[in-house]
Structure 1
Amino acid sequence: MARPAPRLTRFTVTVLALGATGLATTAPAVLASPAAARGLPAASAALDRREQDNRPSSHRRSDTPTPATRLVSTWSSSSDRLIAALGGQTVRMVARTAVGGDGMRIRLSNVFGAAPVSIRHVHAGIQAYGPEILPGTNRPVTFGGHASVTVPAGRAVWSDPIPGRFPGGADVVVSMFLPSTVREITGHERAYATTYLSGPGDHAASESADGFTYTSTQWYFLDRIAVQAPAAVHSVVAFGDSLTDGTGQTVDANRRWTDYLRHRVAGLSAAHRVSVVNAGIAGNRLIYSNVGPSGLNRFYRDVLTQPGVRTVVVYEGINDISRGAYTSPAPIVNAYKRLIREAHARKLRVLGATLTPFYGFGTWTPEREEIRQRVNAWIRTSRAFDGVLDFDKAVRDPAVPEQLIASYDSGDHLHMSDAGRRRLAYAVNLRLL
Structure 2
Amino acid sequence: MRAFAGLLLAMTLAMPAAAQPAMRWATSWAASVQGPYPTGNPSAQPDQRFAFPDPARGARDQTLRLVLRPSLWGQRVRLRFSNALGTQPLVLDGVHVGLQMGGAAITPGTNQAVRFGGQPGVTIPPGEMAWSDAVALPFVPDGESGLLAGRKLAVSLHVVGESGPMTWHAKSLQTSYVSPPGSGAHGEDEAEAAFPFSTASWFFLDALDVMAPAGTPVVVAFGDSITDGTASTMNGDDRWPDVLARRLFARYGNRVAVVNAGIGGNQ
- After TM superposition, the score normalised by the length of structure 1 is 0.49
> Which of 181, 192, 205 is 2:173 aligned to?
192
C-alpha distance in 1, partners of 2:93/2:165? 18
C-alpha distance in 2, partners of 1:138/1:67? 29
Shift of 1:183: 2.8
C-alpha distance in 1, partners of 2:31/2:87? 20
The answer for the alignment partner of 1:121 in structure 2 is 94
> Which of 132, 140, 161 is 1:180 aligned to?
161
The answer for the alignment partner of 2:45 in structure 1 is none
Cα shift readout 1:321-376 (whole Å, capped 9, x = no counterpart): xxxxxxxxxxxxxxxxxxxxxxxxxxxxxxxxxxxxxxxxxxxxxxxxxxxxxxxx
**8 Å Cα contact 2:112-2:137 kept in structure 1:** no
Larger radius of gyration: 1
- Indicate whether 1:75 and 2:12 are aligned: no
Instruction: Look up the equivalent residue of 1:201 and give its one-letter code.
Output: G
Relative to 1, partners in 2 of residues 1:169 and 1:69: Cα closer, same or farther, differing over 3 Å?
farther
The answer for the alignment partner of 1:284 in structure 2 is 266
SS class of match (2:241): helix
- Indicate whether 1:90 and 2:53 are aligned: no
More helix by share: 1
Shift of 1:170: 2.8
The answer for the alignment partner of 2:237 in structure 1 is 254
Shift of 1:95: 0.7
- Indicate whether 1:241 and 2:195 are aligned: no
The answer for the alignment partner of 2:106 in structure 1 is 133
Instruction: Look up the equivalent residue of 2:27 and give its one-letter code.
Output: S
Instruction: Select between 127-136 and 229-238 the one with higher mean Cα deviation.
Output: 229-238
The answer for the alignment partner of 2:257 in structure 1 is 275
Instruction: Look up the equivalent residue of 1:215 and give its one-letter code.
Output: S
**8 Å Cα contact 1:100-1:169 kept in structure 2:** no
**8 Å Cα contact 2:62-2:160 kept in structure 1:** yes
C-alpha distance in 2, partners of 1:220/1:141? 17
The answer for the alignment partner of 1:169 in structure 2 is 150
The answer for the alignment partner of 1:108 in structure 2 is 81
Shift of 1:247: 0.6
**8 Å Cα contact 2:89-2:163 kept in structure 1:** no
Shift of 1:233: 1.3
Instruction: Look up the equivalent residue of 1:117 and give its one-letter code.
Output: L
What does residue range 8-407 of structure 1 map to in structure 2 within 5 Å?
67-81=21-35, 82-83=37-38, 84=55, 85-164=58-137, 166=140, 167=145, 168-199=149-180, 200-269=183-252, 273-285=255-267
**8 Å Cα contact 1:197-1:215 kept in structure 2:** yes
Cα shift readout 1:136-176 (whole Å, capped 9, x = no counterpart): 00000000001111111111101111013544433010001
Shift of 1:230: 1.9
Shift of 1:267: 1.9
**8 Å Cα contact 1:175-1:204 kept in structure 2:** yes
C-alpha distance in 2, partners of 1:246/1:140? 31
Cα shift readout 1:250-303 (whole Å, capped 9, x = no counterpart): 211111101111101112336x93200000001222xxxxxxxxxxxxxxxxxx
**8 Å Cα contact 1:241-1:280 kept in structure 2:** yes
**How many equivalent pairs are there?**
219
C-alpha distance in 1, partners of 2:83/2:69? 22
Shift of 1:202: 1.3
C-alpha distance in 2, partners of 1:262/1:253? 14
C-alpha distance in 1, partners of 2:73/2:150? 8
C-alpha distance in 2, partners of 1:143/1:268? 36
Instruction: Look up the equivalent residue of 1:133 and give its one-letter code.
Output: I
**8 Å Cα contact 2:103-2:192 kept in structure 1:** yes
SS class of match (2:264): coil
C-alpha distance in 1, partners of 2:97/2:255? 25
- After TM superposition, the score normalised by the length of structure 2 is 0.78
Structure 1 gap segments, 5+ residues each = 1-65, 286-433
**8 Å Cα contact 2:66-2:155 kept in structure 1:** yes
**Which runs of at least 4 in structure 1 moved beyond 4 Å after TM superposition?**
165-168
RMSD: 1.6
C-alpha distance in 2, partners of 1:143/1:153? 18
SS class of match (2:248): helix
